[in-house]
Structure 1
């Protein structure tokens, strides 16, 4: 067996990727937020959240590698490094970055060719969705919200998937910002001014509330609110930078955009 043999996955996307590559036997611990694939929750101990981890429980698993994501897990990573664990914190934010992440993770565990084929298949799926979207009559203006208090707009890979699926993200300048705090809306009234025709909500870790969104001061003037076009996309499908977003996540966006076209074209 090449590469690390006892991997702790601090987020969801390495777990889903390793299962897809047939390398699940290497995983000894997972994030408590993991829902994909469903058997992972039944088979693997849950040892971390997103901003915290059970360090002592992780160490009992005798990992030779831990995989996490982004600056938000920097403190967890630092503590594991201090305790002698090798750690990889990926920091990708784009669709291309996700595909490259899958290839790199595959290479790390000696499954480079399988990972390349898997990533290529995901890429072809995106190209099919983009071709289908090009045939739609209209491209709706889309506001994607990943948190409500304060309101935070969508990250780069989400904005890219919205575009692939046939919509146009109304905050492209914020989507380029890697940190959530940089995507906090300075003024909620800016959403009103940009007049989205679709609102997609995916509040990380809690249920999206269209009624609360529609009740915000002045938001009754937004076309999406006026027409009842507020839709939830479950966070495990779209907010993890891994296979889910490039598969079921973008397909869900494409379905919503397609049905919006049927109602409004």
Structure 2
């Protein structure tokens, strides 16, 4: 983002503004140095509950942040909001990630390791993720897929974002790849796209089994599955768990296609 962060000392009071990066900080062994997280930072469950909530990813409580006196704030370009980040940058060291691909997430992981003095652990996590994805067997032939993140209105994953990249890695050909990053869709657009597979994400909209019939009515020939959105979209250390999960989704989709 054209902004350089220079730290004189290893940060001792870190605030994380993004759930997947919060989990990474804990996995890097920084629990005692994390002072603030967002209300969406739910992992690791037993540890985040002891941290101060600084608001949401798109509405920060600046008075709470001031009270915490952070020496490093870690955010993300897509998940946080520009005005809030600029306000924080005026007072604090703010480091931002910008993630579209698996390579971007590995680079973020290593940079946070470097910023926090946890390089060996960061390299270990990055290597586990890299190996996992190298061993992933994508669907062959590719499967025409729609991945939904919201209903009322329907919103799917388009092109040029991290979930799109993970779908590609899995051999799931995104039928909405040529649209904006997260397009709103009409039922007619979905019918016209005619996907073989429809994946309903558990987040941000909490799709459940009860929603399958609604999509089945629109696309009677498609296979429809509710998937763990965290394992498709969280680009921190949770990616160590993604390849095994993605493989199971791929194998099930291939059996049904």
TM range (shorter): 0.7 to 0.9
Equivalence for 2:143? 140
Alpha-carbon separation, structure 1, partners of 2:164 and 2:220:
20
Q: Greater helix percent: which structure?
A: 1
Residue deviations 1:8-34, cap 9 Å, x none?
001112211112221222210111111
Alpha-carbon separation, structure 1, partners of 2:230 and 2:172:
21
Equivalence for 1:202? 201
- Alpha-carbon offset, residue 185 of structure 1: 3.8
- Alpha-carbon offset, residue 211 of structure 1: 5.2
Of residues 52, 61, 71, the one that matches 1:54 is: 61
> What root-mean-square deviation, in Å, do the aligned CA atoms of Structure 1 and Structure 2 show?
2.6
The number of residue pairs the alignment matches comes to: 247
Of residues 224, 230, 234, the one that matches 2:224 is: 230
Equivalence for 2:27? 20
TM-score, normalising length from structure 2?
0.83
Alpha-carbon separation, structure 2, partners of 1:205 and 1:194:
23
Residue deviations 1:215-237, cap 9 Å, x none?
36x9634521xxxx322223333
- Alpha-carbon offset, residue 242 of structure 1: 2.1
C-alpha distance 199-242 of structure 1, shift in aligned 2 (>3 A): same
C-alpha distance 25-94 of structure 1, shift in aligned 2 (>3 A): same
C-alpha distance 189-248 of structure 1, shift in aligned 2 (>3 A): farther
2:201·2:207 contact (CA, 8 Å) conserved in 1?
yes
1:103·1:115 contact (CA, 8 Å) conserved in 2?
yes
Structure 2 alignment gaps of length 5 or more? 1-7
Residue deviations 1:139-173, cap 9 Å, x none?
32111112223333226221222232232222222
